[in-house]
């Protein structure tokens, strides 16, 4: 791989949270960055702040669920910077609610953003990386890609799918000099909860018999969110994976993410199920 300072890096979901933090951390290295997400103004403001000359950091607004946007993004990146060295698949959001009550359309959309858009981007970028004989794909999954919980299992299953996809892709691309890395964030203080609540508003408005359980779960999340680290902890992890000559297959951060993953591995499902069981909110 060329040194970070010479790489062309495409970052999805760069308009806020973890993606924005990754852009802020990588920009000073001198790497050329393409920042993408739907909110054009936020992206453009970030690109202008990181590189007022416009020579090294560019905003490319796109809705990643749309094939024509994805194609324009990849061809636009190559037209602008001549190649792509690293693809960071970070864009994503959470769909909440009991499986029984989340409309199939909402489940499909969560998979469109968190899984199919990633698959499609990999299909567009992998041939470029293969032809170069080198490159990296970094997929931001989640602790929820290893531990599925009641009432968030739609989102959790998208991240489980991305984990499996990444593991398979790593083996497929290895002979061609392309490395695939998974980063598993724990609780990170970003707009994620706000976006998840907005995406799930329809479902959450009428939960029927699940209502007291969801209320209690919200309280539990609020408690756990006190563990949340700032998004730069994940950006540092990404930078580490990009600078490593031989990156690990999986990284997790912050420390609570490593502890949850270790507990999932160590304890039998019965114990994990008990720990994450639904409890009604007391009246
Ligand atoms: N925060 C956490 O606790 C946490 C924990 C584990 C994993 N993660 C994962 O980390 C990643 C980043 O999340 P975050 O916490 O930084 O949340 P965030 O601040 O809400 O960022 C999500 C990003 O995804 C973009 N996005 C969403 N839908 C899109 C679409 N259709 N097309 C293009 N871009 C789209 C959003 O941009 P626009 O709205 O401008 O399109 C935004 O930039 C996600 O994959 C999430 O699952 C987060």
Q: Is 64 in the pocket of ligand 1 (CB under 6 A)?
A: yes
Q: Is the dihedral of CA 162, 164, 170, 172 positive or negative?
A: negative
Q: Global pTM? A: 0.97
| Catalytic residue list contains 155 | yes
Q: Count CB atoms within 10 A of the CB of residue 210.
A: 20
pLDDT in tens, 89-129: 999 999 999 999 999 999 999 999 999 999 999 999 999 99
Q: Mutate which of 12, 35, 93 to test ligand 1's pocket (most atoms within 8 Å of Cβ)?
A: 93
Is 121 close to ligand 1, i.e. is its CB under 6 Å away?
no
End-to-end CA distance of the chain: 58
Pocket probe for ligand 1: among 66, 95, 158, 192, the residue whose CB has the most ligand atoms within 8 Å is 192
Task: Retrieve residue 265's tokens.
Answer: 């591995």
202-234 tens-digit pLDDT: 999 999 999 999 988 888 888 888 899 999 999
Domain boundaries, the chain: 4-210+228-266
pLDDT tens-digit profile of 137-191? 999 999 999 999 999 999 999 999 999 999 999 999 999 999 999 999 999 999 9
Q: State the Cα–Cα distance between residues 73 and 65, nearest whole angstrom.
A: 12
CATH architecture of 4-210+228-266: 3-Layer(aba) Sandwich (3.40)
Name all contacts of 235-241 with Cβ < 8 Å and 24+ positions apart.
235/18, 235/21, 235/22, 235/24, 235/25, 235/26, 236/25, 237/183, 238/22, 238/25, 238/26, 238/88, 238/138, 238/183, 239/4, 239/22, 239/25, 239/26, 239/29, 241/136, 241/138, 241/181, 241/183
């Amino acid at each position: 791989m060329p040194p970070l300072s010479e790489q062309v890096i495409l970052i999805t979901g760069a308009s806020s949270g973890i993606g924005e933090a990754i852009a802020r951390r990588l920009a000073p290295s001198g790497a050329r960055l393409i920042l993408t997400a739907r909110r054009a103004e936020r992206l453009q403001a970030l690109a202008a702040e990181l590189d007022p000359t416009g020579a090294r950091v560019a905003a490319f607004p796109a809705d990643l669920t749309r094939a024509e946007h994805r194609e324009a993004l990849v061809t636009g990146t190559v037209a602008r910077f001549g190649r792509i060295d690293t693809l960071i698949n970070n864009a994503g959001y959470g769909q909440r609610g009991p499986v029984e009550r989340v409309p199939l359309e909402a489940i499909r959309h969560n998979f469109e953003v968190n899984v199919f858009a990633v698959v499609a981007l990999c299909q567009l970028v992998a041939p470029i990386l293969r032809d170069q004989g080198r490159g990296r794909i970094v997929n931001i999954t989640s602790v929820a890609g290893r531990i599925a919980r009641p009432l968030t299992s739609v989102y959790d299953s998208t991240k489980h799918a991305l984990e499996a996809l990444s593991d398979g892709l790593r083996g497929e691309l290895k002979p061609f000099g392309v490395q695939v890395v998974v980063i598993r964030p724990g609780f990170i203080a970003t707009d994620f909860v706000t976006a998840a609540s907005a995406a799930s508003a329809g479902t959450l408005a009428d939960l029927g018999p699940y209502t007291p359980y969801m209320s209690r779960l919200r309280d539990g999340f609020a408690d756990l969110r006190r563990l949340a680290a700032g998004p730069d902890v994940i950006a540092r992890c990404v930078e580490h994976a990009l600078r490593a000559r031989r990156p690990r297959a999986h990284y997790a951060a912050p420390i609570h993410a490593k502890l949850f993953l270790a507990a999932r591995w160590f304890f039998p499902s019965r114990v994990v199920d008990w720990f994450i069981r639904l409890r009604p909110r007391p009246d």
